[in-house]
Amino acid sequence: MMHAWEGIQKTIDYIEGNMSEEIKIEELAEMAALSQFYFQRLFKRLVKKPGNEYIKLRMG
C-alpha cells in the first residue's frame, strides 16, 4: 500500500514531467489514491502551498 506522502510525491513528479499539459487536481488526487479533500489538505501541508498555486508557479 502506498503511503499518502508517497502519493503526493508521485503527483509532484507528474507535475514536473508534464508542465506543458493542463493538470487537474481531481486527476492528481486519483493518482495519489486520495480523496480530493484529503489530497488538497495533505499537499498543502507537505509542499507549503495549495496544489493549484504550486502548479501555476511551476508552469510560470
The answer on pLDDT for 1 being more than 80 is no
pLDDT at 27: 97
Q: Is the pTM of this model over 0.85?
A: yes
How does 12-45 read in b/e, with b if 16+ C-beta sit within 10 Å?
bebbeeeeeeebebeebbeebebeeeebbebbee
Higher pLDDT, 17 or 1: 17
pLDDT at 9: 96
- Which tens digits make up the pLDDT trace of 9-60? 999 999 999 999 999 999 999 999 999 999 999 999 999 999 999 999 998 8
* Tally of domains in the chain: 1
Which residues constitute the domain of residue 47? 4-13+24-59
Indicate whether 18 belongs to any domain. no
